[in-house]
Structure 1
Amino acid sequence: MSILLIGATSDIAGEIATLTCAGHDIVLAARRPEATSALVADLNKLGATSVHVLHFDATQLGTHRELVKKAKNLAGEISLAVVAFGILGNQEQAESDEAHATTIATVDYTAQVSMLTVLADELRVQTTPAAIVAFSSIAGWRARRANYVYGSTKAGLDAFCQGLADALHGSHVRMIIARPGFVIGSMTTGMKPAPMSVYPHDVAKAVVDAYTTKKKSTTVWIPGRLRVLAWIMRMVPRPLWRKMPR
């Protein structure tokens, strides 16, 4: 059984890989395969049975199924598929540059829908159980003025994943939907951390715990107390909400 990490250069994907690699065949898919060299070395040291690296460009939607089939041919049936690619984008630029706005939407929503659909279809026909991980965000719970383009993609993705989880119910494929708060990592370098911020390792550990202990589809808030903040967010009056920072 193999583990497929799509968007393998992301901080969270790397952490998940190191937590799960021992005794498994690992496939790393990345837009910059050369940037995975340090991770490949670490995974080999940590006991991965094999490590394969594939090129992957999320915006090339027609290549998504080919990637998954290639991963299965290289390393066997997939037990865990992690969809970890994405961009934060520049909100200010996106408000006047429609090309940038649609790039964010393509990478963070359309390409995710494409890949998740492919994975669900390809993993259903396997003979062994499998899990798919997708990353929502507190940013999608209620879109804020300060980052509504990115937030809207996460809102749409979360809704899609909830529906996909229901569609997979009764099969041997399950969805793990991660809803982290602000993640302090390379994507957010230079930004002021928000309340209940977490690190990539925190997110990875919560995802891996859900993978190893849950038998059905599940949604994981990271940290768990973020549920309370999410409830409060729904209650904030709109005139005040539009002034909220990222």
Structure 2
Amino acid sequence: MSQAWKRVEVIGDCTLYLGDCMAIIPTLCKVGAVVTDPPYGINAARSRNSQKHGWRDYGGGEWDKERPPPDVIKRIVLCSANVIIWGGNYFADLLDPSQKWLVWDKGQTDFSLADCELAWCSFDGAVRRITVSRSRALQDGKQHPTQKPVDVMAWCLAQLPKHAKGPILDPFMGSGTTGIACVRAGRRFIGIEIDEGYFDIACDRIRRAYSQPDMFVSAPAPQVPQQLGLLEGGEG
């Protein structure tokens, strides 16, 4: 039987897999929560790759030409009782109604792109909003066209229920921002990325997060990777 992933890197409390999330997810241990930002299917790789209006050229690609297939989104929702999916409005036909949504207000009205982004939550609670300039991602060292600011993802983790204690899974890791937020919060992290270029970027950014930890958070000691087993739903 062939291995589900092409490569795995263990960096502190972060375990990063290069490969297809649909093949890798069934091999994982139980997770406490899923926090992810899938491709929305808005062709961001092509619409944002010019330097017109100050956009950096991130290169093209087909990764955002279509949103992930419905079975991928449905499988992700089954990974845990605690799931946050950014771009939830693009997957509304696949997700159950929810009273709790997260709103990232980008602090700029009537820009050429959306003023806000929305995250669907699988758990109950009040709608919450954070205002962080879209330019904050540039200060973080933006290397992906849809990379969110670390501050947004750190706030996102803080919205999870208190009982969601297990590792955080991001099956669309991209450049690793969720992982960096987990490093700063002292949380275990499992990231999956299918694109080798972005996988390498995520590994580098997470290593640097450990080498320059937040002054208020102690860098967690490296741990032996958990034994692989079937993924179970529910809280970690």
TM-score bracket for this pair, using the shorter chain length: 0.3 to 0.5
Larger radius of gyration: 1
For normalisation by structure 2, the TM-score amounts to 0.35
For normalisation by structure 1, the TM-score amounts to 0.34
